[in-house]
Structure 1
């Protein structure tokens, strides 16, 4: 009998986003105390903010964490793939 907390181990596959990918946040992100220089509970990213993936890391050998630079906010925030959507490139 499982505990109901089983999640797929993301790192068995390839990352969803690669560095340079334009993404849009699909959730609000508040500081949980791990973002230095900002108050706990302060809003770091608003739903709909657009940023660029700078780097891809791994957390607990299970999850990909995407370092996303939100240029308009002047922040780089670590986010899970499920918190992001790829932003379609506009035709030039």
Structure 2
């Protein structure tokens, strides 16, 4: 029997996403009370929204949390890898990632 996603220790493996990587949300994300300035239950991210990974942190020394900047919303929301899909993946069937290039991403 395999480990449930909540039991897996992700940080024993390299992160699945990297800073600068373009991503798409695979599900709606609502405020669970940890996002300041928004009501609990308010939509923070909608399925299909696109953004860029800005930073990677950890939670409970177990999970990677990806700080994703959602350009259209002007927000940064912490998300788990299973809530995101990379848009920078190559066509490689082994899942090799395209490395980030200088100048990639939105202009600041």
- TM-score, normalised to structure 1, is 0.87
Cα distance in 2, alignment partners of residues 32 and 11 from structure 1: 23
Q: What residue is the counterpart of 2:82 in the other structure?
A: 82
Cα distance in 1, alignment partners of residues 29 and 54 from structure 2: 18
Q: How many residue pairs were aligned?
A: 87
Do structure 1's residue 44 and structure 2's residue 44 form an aligned pair? Answer: yes
Do structure 1's residue 7 and structure 2's residue 4 form an aligned pair? Answer: no
SS in 2 for 1:11: helix
TM-superposed CA distance for 1:88, in Å, is 3.8
- Specify every segment of 5 or more residues in structure 2 that has no aligned partner in the other structure, as ranges: 90-108
- Specify every segment of 5 or more residues in structure 1 that has no aligned partner in the other structure, as ranges: none
TM-superposed CA distance for 1:62, in Å, is 0.5
Task: Kindly report the root-mean-square deviation, in angstroms, between the aligned alpha carbons of the 2 structures.
Answer: 1.8
Cα distance in 2, alignment partners of residues 7 and 60 from structure 1: 11
Larger relative contact order, structure 1 or 2 (CA cutoff 8 Å, min sep 6): 1
- TM-score, normalised to structure 2, is 0.75
User: Counting strand residues as a fraction of each chain, which structure ranks higher?
Assistant: 1
Structure 1 segment 51-66 matched on structure 2, within 5 A: 51-66=51-66
Q: What residue is the counterpart of 1:17 in the other structure?
A: 17
